Amino acid sequence: MQKQPTLLSYFFAALLYLPAANVLSADSQPENDESTLPVEVTADKLVSQEQKGESVYTGNVIITQGTTVIKGDKVTLHHPERKLAKAIVIGQPATFKRFLPEEQKWVNGHADQITYDTEQKTVLLEGDAYVNQEGQNSISGPKIYYDLTKKTLSAYGDRDEKQRVKVIFKPEDEPQKDAP
Protein backbone atom coordinates (compact mmCIF):
# COMPACT_ATOMS: atom_id res chain seq x y z
CA MET A 1 0.00 0.00 0.00
CA GLN A 2 2.27 2.71 -1.30
CA LYS A 3 -0.27 5.52 -0.92
CA GLN A 4 -0.87 5.26 2.85
CA PRO A 5 1.90 7.67 3.91
CA THR A 6 0.33 10.31 1.67
CA LEU A 7 -3.09 9.58 3.13
CA LEU A 8 -1.76 9.76 6.68
CA SER A 9 -0.22 13.17 6.04
CA TYR A 10 -3.73 14.66 5.78
CA PHE A 11 -4.57 13.19 9.17
CA PHE A 12 -1.41 14.67 10.67
CA ALA A 13 -1.97 18.08 9.15
CA ALA A 14 -5.44 18.30 10.63
CA LEU A 15 -4.69 16.79 14.01
CA LEU A 16 -1.47 18.61 14.59
CA TYR A 17 -2.59 22.10 13.78
CA LEU A 18 -5.75 21.68 15.86
CA PRO A 19 -4.43 23.22 19.07
CA ALA A 20 -2.21 25.91 17.58
CA ALA A 21 -3.29 29.46 18.31
CA ASN A 22 -3.12 30.29 14.62
CA VAL A 23 -4.85 27.31 13.03
CA LEU A 24 -3.90 27.03 9.40
CA SER A 25 -6.34 26.79 6.56
CA ALA A 26 -5.97 24.06 3.97
CA ASP A 27 -4.59 26.48 1.37
CA SER A 28 -1.92 28.05 3.59
CA GLN A 29 1.04 25.87 4.49
CA PRO A 30 3.57 26.62 7.20
CA GLU A 31 7.14 27.43 6.31
CA ASN A 32 8.27 24.24 8.06
CA ASP A 33 5.61 21.96 6.58
CA GLU A 34 6.16 18.38 7.76
CA SER A 35 3.41 16.87 5.61
CA THR A 36 5.92 16.01 2.88
CA LEU A 37 8.20 14.07 5.25
CA PRO A 38 8.05 10.27 5.37
CA VAL A 39 5.52 8.68 7.72
CA GLU A 40 6.61 5.71 9.82
CA VAL A 41 4.01 3.44 11.39
CA THR A 42 5.03 0.72 13.83
CA ALA A 43 2.63 -1.71 15.46
CA ASP A 44 2.47 -5.25 16.74
CA LYS A 45 -0.02 -6.16 14.01
CA LEU A 46 -1.51 -4.83 10.77
CA VAL A 47 -4.60 -6.17 9.04
CA SER A 48 -5.28 -4.42 5.74
CA GLN A 49 -8.43 -5.20 3.77
CA GLU A 50 -7.99 -3.41 0.46
CA GLN A 51 -11.40 -4.42 -0.91
CA LYS A 52 -13.10 -3.13 2.23
CA GLY A 53 -10.90 -0.03 2.24
CA GLU A 54 -9.77 -0.48 5.83
CA SER A 55 -6.44 -0.93 7.58
CA VAL A 56 -6.24 -1.71 11.29
CA TYR A 57 -2.99 -1.33 13.22
CA THR A 58 -2.99 -2.80 16.76
CA GLY A 59 -0.63 -3.13 19.68
CA ASN A 60 1.49 -0.17 20.74
CA VAL A 61 0.90 1.77 17.51
CA ILE A 62 3.34 4.63 16.98
CA ILE A 63 3.04 6.97 14.01
CA THR A 64 5.91 9.39 13.42
CA GLN A 65 6.35 12.15 10.86
CA GLY A 66 9.03 14.75 11.54
CA THR A 67 8.49 16.02 15.08
CA THR A 68 4.99 14.60 15.18
CA VAL A 69 4.31 11.48 17.22
CA ILE A 70 0.87 9.85 17.60
CA LYS A 71 0.46 6.82 19.85
CA GLY A 72 -2.48 4.53 20.43
CA ASP A 73 -3.49 0.98 21.15
CA LYS A 74 -5.39 0.73 17.87
CA VAL A 75 -5.47 2.87 14.72
CA THR A 76 -8.13 2.27 12.07
CA LEU A 77 -7.83 3.94 8.68
CA HIS A 78 -10.87 3.95 6.41
CA HIS A 79 -9.62 4.45 2.86
CA PRO A 80 -12.15 3.49 0.21
CA GLU A 81 -10.62 3.74 -3.27
CA ARG A 82 -7.22 4.37 -1.62
CA LYS A 83 -8.32 7.78 -0.35
CA LEU A 84 -8.37 8.43 3.38
CA ALA A 85 -11.94 9.11 4.54
CA LYS A 86 -11.51 8.68 8.30
CA ALA A 87 -8.80 7.87 10.81
CA ILE A 88 -9.60 6.67 14.33
CA VAL A 89 -6.94 6.42 17.04
CA ILE A 90 -7.96 4.59 20.23
CA GLY A 91 -5.86 4.33 23.37
CA GLN A 92 -5.79 4.55 27.13
CA PRO A 93 -5.14 7.28 26.23
CA ALA A 94 -4.34 7.96 22.58
CA THR A 95 -1.71 10.70 22.55
CA PHE A 96 -0.14 13.15 20.14
CA LYS A 97 2.65 15.69 20.26
CA ARG A 98 4.23 18.03 17.75
CA PHE A 99 6.84 20.76 17.86
CA LEU A 100 5.67 24.08 16.40
CA PRO A 101 8.82 25.69 15.00
CA GLU A 102 7.15 29.05 14.40
CA GLU A 103 6.35 29.30 18.11
CA GLN A 104 9.26 27.20 19.40
CA LYS A 105 6.82 25.23 21.58
CA TRP A 106 5.38 21.72 21.82
CA VAL A 107 1.68 21.00 21.42
CA ASN A 108 0.45 17.78 23.00
CA GLY A 109 -2.78 16.16 23.92
CA HIS A 110 -4.67 13.00 24.60
CA ALA A 111 -8.11 11.41 24.51
CA ASP A 112 -9.56 7.93 24.69
CA GLN A 113 -10.41 8.29 21.00
CA ILE A 114 -9.29 10.75 18.34
CA THR A 115 -11.27 10.76 15.08
CA TYR A 116 -10.32 12.69 11.96
CA ASP A 117 -12.95 12.90 9.20
CA THR A 118 -11.29 14.02 5.96
CA GLU A 119 -14.57 14.58 4.12
CA GLN A 120 -16.05 16.82 6.82
CA LYS A 121 -12.58 18.16 7.71
CA THR A 122 -13.20 17.73 11.43
CA VAL A 123 -11.28 16.35 14.39
CA LEU A 124 -13.07 14.93 17.44
CA LEU A 125 -11.30 14.06 20.69
CA GLU A 126 -13.54 11.99 22.97
CA GLY A 127 -13.12 10.72 26.51
CA ASP A 128 -10.85 12.66 28.85
CA ALA A 129 -9.88 14.96 25.99
CA TYR A 130 -7.01 17.38 26.59
CA VAL A 131 -4.95 19.71 24.40
CA ASN A 132 -2.03 21.78 25.71
CA GLN A 133 0.26 24.30 24.09
CA GLU A 134 3.53 24.20 26.06
CA GLY A 135 3.68 26.99 28.61
CA GLN A 136 0.51 28.56 27.25
CA ASN A 137 -3.15 27.61 26.97
CA SER A 138 -4.90 24.30 27.54
CA ILE A 139 -8.40 22.92 27.18
CA SER A 140 -9.93 19.74 28.57
CA GLY A 141 -13.30 18.06 28.76
CA PRO A 142 -15.20 14.96 27.73
CA LYS A 143 -15.32 16.09 24.06
CA ILE A 144 -13.34 18.57 22.01
CA TYR A 145 -14.47 19.12 18.42
CA TYR A 146 -12.62 21.14 15.79
CA ASP A 147 -13.90 22.13 12.35
CA LEU A 148 -10.87 22.80 10.15
CA THR A 149 -12.84 24.57 7.44
CA LYS A 150 -14.68 26.98 9.73
CA LYS A 151 -11.76 27.17 12.19
CA THR A 152 -14.15 26.69 15.08
CA LEU A 153 -13.57 24.79 18.29
CA SER A 154 -16.32 23.40 20.50
CA ALA A 155 -15.84 21.64 23.80
CA TYR A 156 -18.60 19.73 25.55
CA GLY A 157 -19.15 18.73 29.16
CA ASP A 158 -21.25 15.81 30.32
CA ARG A 159 -24.00 16.64 32.83
CA ASP A 160 -24.75 13.02 33.62
CA GLU A 161 -21.13 12.37 34.59
CA LYS A 162 -20.77 15.86 36.11
CA GLN A 163 -17.81 16.62 33.86
CA ARG A 164 -17.22 20.16 32.71
CA VAL A 165 -15.07 21.87 30.14
CA LYS A 166 -11.96 23.52 31.53
CA VAL A 167 -9.87 26.15 29.72
CA ILE A 168 -6.70 27.69 31.12
CA PHE A 169 -5.40 30.89 29.56
CA LYS A 170 -1.93 31.98 30.56
CA PRO A 171 -1.12 35.64 30.01
CA GLU A 172 1.80 36.40 27.76
CA ASP A 173 4.94 37.62 29.44
CA GLU A 174 5.45 41.31 28.86
CA PRO A 175 8.91 42.36 27.80
CA GLN A 176 11.03 43.88 30.57
CA LYS A 177 11.26 47.65 30.37
CA ASP A 178 14.38 49.41 31.49
CA ALA A 179 13.84 51.54 34.60
CA PRO A 180 14.31 55.33 34.01
Q: Where are the alpha helices (DSSP H) in 27-117?
A: none
17's enclosing H/E stretch is helix 4-17
Q: What is the DSSP letter of 102?
A: T
- The stretch 109-127 carries a mean pLDDT of 90
The more confident residue out of 67 and 103 is 67
User: How far is the first Cα of the chain from the last one, in angstroms, to the nearest whole number?
Assistant: 67
Per-residue pLDDT reduced to its tens digit, 126-146? 999 998 988 888 999 999 998
Question: Given pLDDT bands bounded at 50, 70 and 90, which one contains residue 21?
Answer: very low
The more confident residue out of 112 and 29 is 112
pLDDT of residue 180: 57
Per-residue pLDDT reduced to its tens digit, 42-62? 999 999 998 999 999 999 999
pTM, full prediction: 0.74
